[in-house]
Amino acid sequence: MINKKVKFIGLDGDDTLWHNEIHFQKAQDDFCKLFKNINPKKIKKKLLEIEKKNLPIYGYGIKGFNLSLLETYIYFNKYITINKVKAILDIGKTMLTKKVQLITDVEKVLMQLKKKI
Ligand SMILES: [Mg+2]
């Protein structure tokens, strides 16, 4: 006989329990403002390509994303000033210091799930 009582519930965190992707989208928009005369869509496409290439090295997360921003900037500009390095690092720092923003009603849903365990 199989015991059907729920013992564990596993949930993904990012964009399931709390907002995450909105911060990455905002960071990309801020990053694109550092460029002149390059279409943001083209920048974001190259960034995604560089992120995918770097994924086996950096893994997922803001710090790896931040390094990919730097690499993308260099790809388009061939050189980088210290002010641009600082601006790019600040994009990552801003992301890292964001307060966790729970998705609407997530606490209520988790409390309901807890009753089933
Ligand atoms: Mg997720």
Residue 32 belongs to some domain of the structure? yes
pTM of the entire predicted model = 0.85
Residue 6 belongs to some domain of the structure? no
Residue 4 belongs to some domain of the structure? no
* pLDDT for 117: 77
Q: What is the CATH number of the domain that holds 54?
A: 1.10.150.240
What is the tally of structural domains in the chain? Answer: 1
The alpha carbon of 58 and the centre of ligand 1 are apart by a number of angstroms equal to 18
The alpha carbon of 32 and the centre of ligand 1 are apart by a number of angstroms equal to 24
Residue 7 belongs to some domain of the structure? no
Could you tell me if 104 and 82 are in contact, meaning their C-beta atoms sit under 8 angstroms apart?
no
* pLDDT for 2: 62
* pLDDT for 47: 98
On the 0-12 / 13-18 / 19+ scale of CB atoms within 10 A, 72 is: buried
Range of the domain at 45: 27-96
Residue 73 belongs to some domain of the structure? yes
Q: What residues in the chain have per-residue pLDDT under 50?
A: none
d(CA 40, CA 28): 9
Residue 34 belongs to some domain of the structure? yes
The alpha carbon of 80 and the centre of ligand 1 are apart by a number of angstroms equal to 33
Residue 40 belongs to some domain of the structure? yes
* pLDDT for 78: 87
The alpha carbon of 38 and the centre of ligand 1 are apart by a number of angstroms equal to 30
